[in-house]
Amino acid sequence: MMLQSDATQFEVDPRLLVRYLTGMGWRSDLLKNQMRRVWLPEDGVDQPVEIFLAEGSRSKSRDVFFAINTISQVYEKPPESVLHDIMSLAFDVITSKIPSEYVRNDSIELRIASQYIEKMKYFLASSATTELSGGDTYKRVLKEGVEYSEKCRFGHTFKGSFGFHIESPVGFNDEPSLDGIDQQQPFERRVVERIAVGLSSFKDAVSEQNPSLIVSAQDGFSANMCDSLIDIIEDIKVSKIDLEIAFSPEWKSRVAGGKQNFTVLLRDLDILKEASKSMRVEEPPRDAQIFGRIKKLETDGNPADLLEDKSGREIEVNWVNEENTLIHVKIALSPEDYLKAVEAHKTGRLVSAAGTLVKQGRIWRLTEAQRFNVVDL
């Protein structure tokens, strides 16, 4: 498999290519005519492989074009894969995919696509906030966590499935390497390492059916990270998500090297929920007045018989609390108030209610609700 013959299409600095080859163990030499010759070590190679790069050459170089094809043949990898590895050298890469059954004719529902991106960005921001706060839980996502997620690059989807190459920028390592002295890892690297540690502990917890392995993992998931990973599957309504993490060779990682693969299944979410619950300090009930739009309506009875059917009726309201954090609050309503809620939901109007705010695990409820009203702005 060869790249397109038009070498001018590839915006790759040859210096970046040399950095890639050096990291892969190639040796280099500078010839008298100022051409850089790079070749593989002789161990394990029948014949030396040479790549010529003009010193000082910039992008759109045919040298780069031929070099990428040579590397692809040596490692038996598609040229496009080699090109991606070179371009992502200064990034840690998280590849995430959902099952192929949700893909039809190489496309997917816009609802799933938009929610998937939103939830993955929140998961990244949650990991960054956990790294900054260092606790088992936090009250709100920090601004710095959101800024980190915004800096990550979301690559294109891949054929036959739906997902993204999420690239976390770690930059080039230009610091001198000294024996016995550990280098300070970039913040972005520590965020992705935390995700890898958390996923590894989750994998072990599923294997042993022991949520405490997630709780006890040092520098792993927080309760909020567990919650945000749960939300990816439950809110998008998929059966699983596959994740692969590949660390940039620029920086040494404290977790296992190479690519790591993880699968989060819908049936295993209870383990994450138990871990999240164990890491949270239960908040005492308190009086609250909530105000927001209805996210969901639920009834065990006949939705068309709102006044005669006495089955339980419940709504879920999006409420931004006093700490400027969005939470979803469930409220049980009388048939009459539920009818008002149905109409408010149809028209997108806001509702308000007063009561006792109680947190049960990940669920917020407004108990003993009173003064339920539809608000006209």
How confident is the model over 258-311, as pLDDT tens digits?
A: 678 999 999 999 999 999 998 987 778 999 999 999 998 888 766 566 666 667
Question: pLDDT tens digits for 200-254?
Answer: 999 999 999 999 999 989 899 999 999 999 999 998 888 889 999 989 888 888 7
State the CB neighbour count (10 A cutoff) for residue 199.
Answer: 24
The mean pLDDT value of the chain amounts to: 82
pLDDT tens track for 111-154: 777 888 899 999 999 999 999 998 899 988 999 999 999 999 88
Model confidence, pTM: 0.68
Q: CB neighbours of 19 closer than 8 A, spacing ≥ 6?
A: 89, 172
The length of the chain, given as a count of residues? 377
363 and 230 Cβ atoms separated by less than 8 Å: no
> What is the pLDDT, as a whole number, of residue 46?
57
